[in-house]
Structure 1
Amino acid sequence: MNKWTFFKKASRFGVIPVMIVPVVLGALGAFVWEDVFHPFLFILTFIGAAAAHLFSNMVNDLWDYRSGADMEAKNTPGVITTNSGFLSGGLISERRFALLTWGLLLLAVLCGAALAFYAGWQVLWFVAGGALLAYFYVAPPLRFGYRGKGYSELAIFVAFGLMPVLGSYFVQTGHFGIKPVLLSLPVGLLTTLLLFNHHFLHWSADKQAGKQTLVVVLGEARALVFSRILLYTAYVSLVVCVGIGVLPVYALLALLTAIRPIGVYRGLKRHNASPAYLPLMGASRQASIRCGTIMAAALLIQGLVGNYWS
């Protein structure tokens, strides 16, 4: 395969929208609420956040391979793996994979340093926090993803909801606010749901490898209940955002994105084979991206209409 195809597959580039959408939301929040938008700073934020996300994907693969979790999943019948397969399949050396991984972190840090210079040193808190969350999600000694007490879910919410929205807003405005925090709730919770649901695909192999995800700890049936609660909480937070004026009323169109995952839940039983969770994964991913996109479109329309009439 060519280098670009290799990079896309190794970094799982296809899931990048779950990071980009929150960054866009934060910038649009600044545009609508504060009437500011700095294209150069937005581009730097965009590139840095994307690089940090891809680093997170690859470093997770690296440490799941080293811990044996990926090999256990590969060798367990009926289990669906969610890693890139490059290391567990012996398609690339660990050293080459690690070099690309750390190269992405370097790019993210350089973008963060530039943003700190132009927008304020507080940006470095986001750079450091993002790097630590990405690395220690599966790396020892913290290994959030292996502890199964909700630590990994909290880390995902912060990394894919609160930090990109609030950080992008701060870069544009130079200050923090409660509105971007509230704005981060729907997309942050839906992305947390996506990462939570992907554990259903290989939870039995995770259990054998000692990876105590929340699905392993709760058990399949109770984890499905928790998954539904997480979905409903995300959409309740969307309604709250509209109710208190963080989003315009037409952002409620994003509620339509809940239809597909709810339909998938209805087709699941208390216990299911791994392939039965593939539709849930697809529905969760679509809900996260589409809900965030509709929220972003609603904010953009609000900002453009407001500027037109002012």
Structure 2
Amino acid sequence: MSQSKSKSKSTRKPAGRPGGRPGRVPARKATASDWIAGARPRTLTLAIAPVALGSAAANQANAFDWPLAVLCLVVALFLQIGVNYANDYSDGIRGTDKYRVGPARLTGGGVANPKRVRNVAFVSFGVAALAGIAIVVVTQFWWLLLVGAVCVIAAWFYTGGKRPYGYNAMGEIFVFVFFGLVATLGTEFVQEHVLQSWGWVMAVMIGLFSCAVLMINNIRDIPQDAQAGKRTLAVLLGARWSRVAYALFLLLPYVLMIFFLIFFVNAGYVYFTLILTLPALIIGVTAKTPKEMILALKLSSFSALAFSLALAAVIFFLQLG
């Protein structure tokens, strides 16, 4: 009888937060490479791409302002870095990352003190905020302070807080809105002071690419996220339909390129970026191992950057049709 009770207690799943709390792992001093990996450099392309497109839209109206463009890039990069460290911290303390099969995280892997990871996230948000304040001072659009505050709050509560919306199938909405619409249109607006139709189309394009990158990442983690109680869109859709969604996210920007073919003679050159995108799509929809999924994620991320830089180059340097 006592052995049965003991066994029952030892196998009982921790209550409370999704995934339970992780066991205490002695933290070693993280190296520079650990912190660089924690920033998840492969995702930073999604911060560069919308700034390139927003600046290109402003340039078409002869309103390109490189100091403001650089400040927008700082905001986008450090918001992305802050999100990545915040996710590392929040997923780690919840115990979610103990199920993951990808590279070990700073918090979940016991590589760094959780509070230090959280503080680095806050510092990153702080750098983004300072750059944002500089933009507001230069442009005198004081209402942008509210937009910036919403961005930081949304970034933290993606996986932070008691009810993170990233755990309830809203991650794709977050990246589409903030790393697609807000980042692209915000960059255009602070330079041009108005928004053009092609700025909106470009914002949707990069938003779709961002969704593709998040989706392929979450497809890889479907079994682990389901076990940890993390209800991503991929978990809800299942592997098959998640792959369909991933393919649509990758291909729809090329469909929307038809809009630019009407105005720009050389917009067709952007289709050469399919050299990266099609392999990403094929690997992503057929992958059977985490290693293949990671490769698809990398290719998807670089496809987003290549697509955006190619379209930006067409608008910056090539003539209208």
TM above 0.5, yes or no, is yes
Match of 2:173 among 120, 136, 154: 154
Are 1:28 and 2:56 an aligned pair?
yes
| Structure 2, gaps ≥5 residues long | 1-28
Q: CA deviation at 1:199?
A: 0.9
Distance 1:58 1:267 in 2: 28
Moved more, 15-24 or 204-213: 15-24
Q: Structure 1, residues 29-57: CA drift from partner, whole Å, max 9, x if none?
A: 1111x212223222222212211111011
Distance 1:199 1:191 in 2: 12
Are 1:135 and 2:156 an aligned pair?
yes
Distance 2:225 2:44 in 1: 25
Q: Does the aligned pair in 2 maintain the 1:185–1:238 contact within 8 Å? A: no
Structure 2 CA distance for partners of 1:85 and 1:268, relative to 1, 3 Å: closer
Structure 2 CA distance for partners of 1:267 and 1:29, relative to 1, 3 Å: closer
Q: Which amino acid aligns with 2:248?
A: I
| Percentage of matched positions with identical amino acids | 23
Match of 1:172 among 191, 194, 200: 191
Q: Structure 1, residues 78-113: CA drift from partner, whole Å, max 9, x if none?
A: x334xx621122121111111111011111111111
Q: Structure 1, residues 193-239: CA drift from partner, whole Å, max 9, x if none?
A: 01111112221100000001111111111211221122222211222
Match of 2:267 among 251, 257, 266: 251
Q: CA deviation at 1:266?
A: 4.2
Counterpart for residue 296 of structure 2: 280
TM-score, with length taken from structure 1: 0.85
Moved more, 261-270 or 5-14: 261-270
Q: Which protein has the larger Cα radius of gyration, Structure 1 or Structure 2?
A: 2
Are 1:301 and 2:317 an aligned pair?
yes
Counterpart for residue 89 of structure 1: 109
Q: Does the aligned pair in 1 maintain the 2:269–2:310 contact within 8 Å? A: yes
Counterpart for residue 92 of structure 2: 65
Structure 2 CA distance for partners of 1:278 and 1:266, relative to 1, 3 Å: same
Moved more, 281-290 or 205-214: 281-290
SS of equivalent to 2:278: helix
Instruction: Give the total of aligned pairs.
Output: 291
Q: Does the aligned pair in 1 maintain the 2:88–2:117 contact within 8 Å? A: no
| Structure 1, gaps ≥5 residues long | 74-78
Counterpart for residue 112 of structure 1: 132
Match of 1:126 among 130, 143, 147: 147
Match of 1:45 among 68, 72, 78: 72
Q: Which amino acid aligns with 1:114?
A: A
SS of equivalent to 1:212: coil
Are 1:205 and 2:218 an aligned pair?
no
Distance 2:151 2:256 in 1: 24
Q: Structure 1, residues 176-201: CA drift from partner, whole Å, max 9, x if none?
A: 34331112122221121011111122
Matches within 5 A, 1:186-201: 186-201=205-220
Structure 2 CA distance for partners of 1:165 and 1:4, relative to 1, 3 Å: same
Q: CA deviation at 1:282?
A: 2.5
SS of equivalent to 1:219: helix
- Runs of 4+ in structure 1 displaced over 6 angstroms? 268-271
Structure 2 CA distance for partners of 1:2 and 1:279, relative to 1, 3 Å: closer
Q: Structure 1, residues 127-183: CA drift from partner, whole Å, max 9, x if none?
A: 1232122112112345222112xx211111112111111111111122334331112
SS of equivalent to 1:156: helix
Counterpart for residue 306 of structure 2: 290
Q: CA deviation at 1:64?
A: 0.9
Q: CA deviation at 1:255?
A: 2.0
Structure 2 CA distance for partners of 1:295 and 1:70, relative to 1, 3 Å: same
Q: Which amino acid aligns with 1:289?
A: L
Match of 1:184 among 192, 203, 213: 203
Q: Does the aligned pair in 2 maintain the 1:123–1:167 contact within 8 Å? A: no
Matches within 5 A, 1:218-257: 218-243=237-262, 245=263, 248-257=264-273
Counterpart for residue 215 of structure 1: 234
Q: Does the aligned pair in 2 maintain the 1:221–1:270 contact within 8 Å? A: no
Structure 2 CA distance for partners of 1:88 and 1:127, relative to 1, 3 Å: same
TM-score, with length taken from structure 2: 0.82
